[in-house]
Structure 1
Amino acid sequence: MPTNYPTPSSDSPRGPEDLAGTTLALLEELVRNACENDLTPDSGQEVRNAETLEAFFAGTPVTTRRIEPHPGRVSLIVTIEGTDPQAEPLTLLGHTDVVPVDAPAWSRDPFGAEIVDGQIWGRGTVDMMGLTAAMAVVTREIATSGRPHGTLTFAAVADEEARGGLGAGWITAHQPDAFDWRNCISEFGGSHLQASDGSDAVVVAVGEKGAAQRRLTVHTQPGHGSMPWRKTSAVQKIAEVATRLAQMPLPSAHDDLWRHFVSFFRFDPATEQALLAGASDEVYEAFGDLAPYAHAVSHLTVAETVVGAGKAINVIPGTASLELDIRTLPGQTDDDVDQTLRAALGDLAEEVEIERLISAEATVSPTDTPLYTAIEETIKEFFPDSAVVPVIGSGGSDMQFTRPLGGLGYGFSLYHRESTLGQMLRRWHATDEHLSVADLELTVAALHRLVTRFVGSH
């Protein structure tokens, strides 16, 4: 049963408590809609969340538009036209699908949206229904308080977890004018870093690594499993390929983002120099629980994820394959990736077929823009003594489509100091995913302040 949300009135502006309560109620419903995306076309069924959001905006002075490239895979675009055509627009880019759950492994109902001990539990609370709900609430609040100077759009898109093929990616390819891509706010921002001297910082995502997925295939002579004498199974060969790749050195980063990130922690000079030089893996232990993230955003990474060989137990297979989830740094190309793989394979390189699967360049937005400045100023209102540190995401988001179109994309939320980047990363796609209600309240308050600062409000 849909929630009956109170409709805001321009005659009685609401306070932070009202916005927070409405955001929490909307988040509960979005989580319970259980829009699980298992990367197949008929999964997701984000139509459920689209209908929830349509009901939420009913009677509000906005224009709404449905985009449905496949049955049930619905994106909803909500727009408030600005009063000044020359003013900068802003798009709040949220997604409405979630990754699948292993329900027996959860200690609570993954789609129950239970609130226990100040936390709301459920798949999508962190990634990214909490922020999507806050975006919807802020958009409706702006709409009912008078038109902004710049056009404000809330895009609740499908299929982000499958790299946007039926969501933002499909829209950019087929209906790129569905909304304005020039200034976009999305996920992976707002958590905190803490330096060795006690200093605090809030992270803002300004970019993300690229994708260079590969399938490696080897061939040998097949034979009967009862007579393996002097026969090399394709399994043996692909195992050697996997071993060599696991041992290869990985190209590392030396850009300004990495230097800025490292310098914030105020490590001793020797550790800082080793990190900036791309030294051995052991030095990353200085980051503590952030070590996996720090290593990922400073290197080309290669994860061996899928292996295939053979069909019958009594047949020595003649073909085997290994699939790789490869994430690139800004400036690294597909040719760079293939060259790195072939160098690692050495004398096996000529015997291995390298097939390119999904490829997407790493993207980064500059930090000398009016939108980034507005983000910094907003964070400073809430945390005046905290630094603001730009970072890149180790995974992907829908902002990968913003930047190639010439737009800006930044990840923005706002959490309390105890919600560190390491802690939030552990909840991303995790069993027992949960979000602090206090962090949700802070996010909607900060987002409302950012939107009114950037596009204005009456």
Structure 2
Amino acid sequence: MSLYDDTLALLQRMVRNACVNDLTPDSGQEVRNADTLEEFFSGTDVEVQRIEPHPGRVSVVFTVPGTDPAAEPLTLLGHTDVVPVDSAKWTVDPFGAEIIDGKLYGRGTVDMLFITATMAAVTREVARNGRPRGTLTFVGLADEEARGGLGAKWISENLPDAFSWKNMLSETGGSHLPTTDGSDAIAFNVGEKGAAQRRLVVSGDAGHGSTPFGKDFAVVKIAEVARRIADAKIPVTSDKTWEGFVQAFRFDPATEQALIEGTGDYHAFGDLAAYAHAASHTTISQTVLHAGGAINVLPSTAWLEMDVRPAPGTSQEDVDALLRDALGDLAEEVDIQYLISEPPAVSPASGPLWEAIVETAGEFFPAAAIVPVYATGGSDLRFGRRLGGVGYGFALHAKERTMAEANGQLHSHDEHLHLEDLALTVAAYESLVTKFVGA
């Protein structure tokens, strides 16, 4: 079988293992994919380490030691869990891994099992061909979809020396931008926004619902809080990465400058308008609202929970200042409580690994501009970046696959992967890994 055939067969098995992470400790059961990966590597001379911080939540590390201790190492971080499905909204079996019209259907095919399977297959191929110059490690990580608490986060905090975090590849990248002049541009993630989840709590008068006169209503107050937060004026976070993203579209000069400054119309980005806005701003999504219990009782407290994603360069203190400014004269009546808080994490678009990405992409798309971008969600790369490493999202898609289309498959109904993209990603990983570790 070819490297592509091996990868496809492994990918189908991993989809069918249905390692669904519903954000509870006993879900996921990535042990199934860990066992599948160990079986896949059987008969090869690789070092294997299983890490299980909670029953069934297994991450597994496969290391091919290098011959030169001074050579650059490379670590491939692939996660093995997937998000839940609403089966009624799917037209195929979410875990059937069926191939229909050149596309592989199933939960996790795009996020991110096709990359994980590719990483495994390329690592096994390197191991079969002898030791590389630099150490190559592939890690099948649990619990990425729940922010890594039983996966990469746990390992980075408890077993940071389990593998090298110096040079990392993970999800995602390699999709194309719909430029205005038809030229090609390929985006690769160099960083990601942080987390600044907040709960805003207000107090009001308790009492019987039948006598509301003169009462200070917590419900009314939290509604006003929500309105003011929705009206917050959040400035654009303009830096070289954002400027390069805008410039890649080849807009006319006036449109380009307005978008860089944050005064332009984001609809100019077409299907990528929401992504472009999120990539260039700290964003606030109001997601949970709670007040009261019994219909005849005035609640004395109410709270609003928000998914806040700080842009690179934005601190937790900056987020609090933004919220207080939006609340205005209500700020002193609102208790701002921290939930999950993490800083943004960014790697430079320079250095040996970035240069290998640029060179590899150029082998397949010689005319394409390579564009560094920020991920608006999270990935396991942030934990390695905090330990001093560099990390990038890497895959490769056909020119017809825009970033909007690729991103649109994430957590979607009828999630599917074009097999053409799997073939490109396998070939690209084989090329990059070979040149980087000297396989």
Q: What band does the TM-score fall into relative to the shorter chain?
A: over 0.9
Following the alignment from structure 2 to structure 1, what is the Cα–Cα distance between the partners of residues 35 and 208?
A: 57
Following the alignment from structure 1 to structure 2, what is the Cα–Cα distance between the partners of residues 380 and 223?
A: 69
Pairwise CA distance, 1:251: 2.4
For the pair 1:155 / 2:139, whether they are aligned, the reply is yes
Q: Tell me the equivalent position of 1:302.
A: 284
User: Counterpart of 1:194 in 2: which secondary structure?
Assistant: coil
Following the alignment from structure 1 to structure 2, what is the Cα–Cα distance between the partners of residues 354 and 60?
A: 54
Q: Tell me the equivalent position of 2:154.
A: 170
Following the alignment from structure 1 to structure 2, what is the Cα–Cα distance between the partners of residues 312 and 114?
A: 49
Q: 1:206 aligns with which of 182, 190, 195?
A: 190
For the pair 1:287 / 2:269, whether they are aligned, the reply is yes
Following the alignment from structure 1 to structure 2, what is the Cα–Cα distance between the partners of residues 227 and 28?
A: 63
Following the alignment from structure 2 to structure 1, what is the Cα–Cα distance between the partners of residues 13 and 298?
A: 52
Q: Tell me the equivalent position of 1:116.
A: 100
Q: Tell me the equivalent position of 1:187.
A: 171
Residue deviations 1:307-352, cap 9 Å, x none? 1111112211111111110111111101000000000001110000
| AA in 2 matched with 1:327 | R
| AA in 2 matched with 1:205 | N
Residue deviations 1:228-266, cap 9 Å, x none? 223233221111100100011112111000011101111
Following the alignment from structure 2 to structure 1, what is the Cα–Cα distance between the partners of residues 96 and 221?
A: 47
Following the alignment from structure 1 to structure 2, what is the Cα–Cα distance between the partners of residues 441 and 232?
A: 63
For the pair 1:72 / 2:56, whether they are aligned, the reply is yes
Residue deviations 1:203-241, cap 9 Å, x none? 111100111110110110111122222323322111110
Following the alignment from structure 1 to structure 2, what is the Cα–Cα distance between the partners of residues 362 and 251?
A: 17
| AA in 2 matched with 1:396 | G
Pairwise CA distance, 1:100: 1.1
Following the alignment from structure 1 to structure 2, what is the Cα–Cα distance between the partners of residues 45 and 231?
A: 51
* Structure 1 residue runs without a partner (length 5+): 1-5, 7-17
Q: Tell me the equivalent position of 1:47.
A: 31
For the pair 1:397 / 2:379, whether they are aligned, the reply is yes
Identify the range of structure 1 (32-41 vs 339-348) with the bigger mean alpha-carbon deviation.
Answer: 32-41
Following the alignment from structure 1 to structure 2, what is the Cα–Cα distance between the partners of residues 251 and 37?
A: 35
Following the alignment from structure 1 to structure 2, what is the Cα–Cα distance between the partners of residues 397 and 287?
A: 24
Following the alignment from structure 1 to structure 2, what is the Cα–Cα distance between the partners of residues 20 and 451?
A: 15
User: Counterpart of 1:190 in 2: which secondary structure?
Assistant: strand
Q: Tell me the equivalent position of 1:132.
A: 116
Following the alignment from structure 1 to structure 2, what is the Cα–Cα distance between the partners of residues 230 and 19?
A: 74
Identify the range of structure 1 (271-280 vs 358-367) with the bigger mean alpha-carbon deviation.
Answer: 271-280
Q: 1:340 aligns with which of 313, 319, 322?
A: 322
Task: Give the number of aligned pairs.
Answer: 439
Q: Tell me the equivalent position of 1:26.
A: 10
Pairwise CA distance, 1:30: 0.6
* Structure 2 residue runs without a partner (length 5+): none
Following the alignment from structure 1 to structure 2, what is the Cα–Cα distance between the partners of residues 104 and 311?
A: 32
Following the alignment from structure 1 to structure 2, what is the Cα–Cα distance between the partners of residues 129 and 318?
A: 47
Residue deviations 1:374-428, cap 9 Å, x none? 1111110011111111111000000110111110101000110011101011111
Give me the identity figure in percent: 62
Following the alignment from structure 2 to structure 1, what is the Cα–Cα distance between the partners of residues 212 and 29?
A: 49
Q: Tell me the equivalent position of 2:44.
A: 60
| AA in 2 matched with 1:338 | D
Pairwise CA distance, 1:430: 1.0
Pairwise CA distance, 1:106: 1.1
Q: Tell me the equivalent position of 1:440.
A: 422
Following the alignment from structure 2 to structure 1, what is the Cα–Cα distance between the partners of residues 50 and 411?
A: 27
Pairwise CA distance, 1:155: 0.6
Following the alignment from structure 2 to structure 1, what is the Cα–Cα distance between the partners of residues 87 and 136?
A: 38
Following the alignment from structure 1 to structure 2, what is the Cα–Cα distance between the partners of residues 225 and 44?
A: 44
| AA in 1 matched with 2:171 | E
Pairwise CA distance, 1:439: 0.4
User: Counterpart of 2:216 in 1: which secondary structure?
Assistant: coil
Pairwise CA distance, 1:164: 0.5
Following the alignment from structure 1 to structure 2, what is the Cα–Cα distance between the partners of residues 79 and 359?
A: 32
Pairwise CA distance, 1:38: 1.2
| AA in 1 matched with 2:311 | L
Residue deviations 1:91-137, cap 9 Å, x none? 00000111111111111111111110111111111110010000000
Q: Tell me the equivalent position of 1:406.
A: 388
User: Counterpart of 2:330 in 1: which secondary structure?
Assistant: helix
Following the alignment from structure 2 to structure 1, what is the Cα–Cα distance between the partners of residues 60 and 387?
A: 20
User: Counterpart of 1:82 in 2: which secondary structure?
Assistant: coil
Aligned pairs for 1:298-377 (under 5 A) are 298-377=280-359
Following the alignment from structure 1 to structure 2, what is the Cα–Cα distance between the partners of residues 335 and 294?
A: 24
| AA in 1 matched with 2:262 | G
What TM-score does the superposition give when structure 2 sets the normalisation length? 0.99
Following the alignment from structure 1 to structure 2, what is the Cα–Cα distance between the partners of residues 223 and 102?
A: 41
For the pair 1:91 / 2:96, whether they are aligned, the reply is no
User: Counterpart of 1:378 in 2: which secondary structure?
Assistant: helix
Following the alignment from structure 1 to structure 2, what is the Cα–Cα distance between the partners of residues 368 and 31?
A: 35
Q: Tell me the equivalent position of 1:215.
A: 199
User: Counterpart of 1:155 in 2: which secondary structure?
Assistant: strand
Following the alignment from structure 1 to structure 2, what is the Cα–Cα distance between the partners of residues 243 and 122?
A: 39
User: Counterpart of 2:235 in 1: which secondary structure?
Assistant: coil
User: Counterpart of 2:374 in 1: which secondary structure?
Assistant: strand
Across the aligned residues of Structure 1 and Structure 2, the Cα RMSD in angstroms comes to 0.9
